[in-house]
Amino acid sequence: MKNEILVIPDIHGRDFWKEPCREWEGKVIFLGDYHDPYPQQVSKSNSLENLKILINFYENNKSRVVCLLGNHDGNYLISDGFADRVDYNNYNEVTSLLKKLDLKVAYRVNDALFSHAGVLPKWLKVNNLSIEDVPNLKFDNKALTDVSPWRGGFSEVGGILWGDVREYASEDHIPNLYQVFGHTQMNKEVIQPDFACLDCRKCFIMDLDSKEIREY
């Protein structure tokens, strides 16, 4: 039996995750950003209903589902964070709903690391962190709010919630670690020898042994 995982990038109220999750019986990982919809695509009310359905799926499948923290989830769960497209009218409800997902900053399986926006060595160095520290970071860690000029911020490098895929073109990567993340929305996935950026409104299956990634 193949050692595979279903990877679901940024949702933002869209429902492309539903059919794959109904069919897939193995491990599932969501890369974050569950609400704060793009206004031209999904209404806030429909996005909230989508989030409630996702929570129901998670609560019925906790043993095989991991939900990661995204920067838009940080809008509600991280104080003094860099905010973007916040649903202030439903702020308290969204905050309460997101807490039901038991969100994690990152999830590691052997030599594969899943996160919302990826981890760069410079970010670890600036914040005096090791890669082993990352999955256990608490939401009050200021490193989570690092936003570089690529995303309108002033930090030296983008962090695990705010890094831009373009930073991967100019920065060193962590050796012997395959990273899977979303955050930078694109029309087509970017799959490289040591990382994959999958934020393109589709689900993917990753073979954790070979690191092969294919569209669901």
CATH number at residue 168: 3.60.21.10
Entry pTM: 0.95
99 lies in which domain range?
Answer: 4-215
pLDDT in tens, 138-166: 999 999 999 988 888 888 899 999 999 98
Average pLDDT over residues 70-93: 89
pLDDT in tens, 45-72: 999 999 999 999 999 999 999 999 999 9
Residues with Cβ within 8 Å of 70's Cβ and at least 6 positions away in sequence, in order, are 10, 31, 32, 33, 34, 116, 117, 161, 182, 183
Tally the domains of the chain: 1
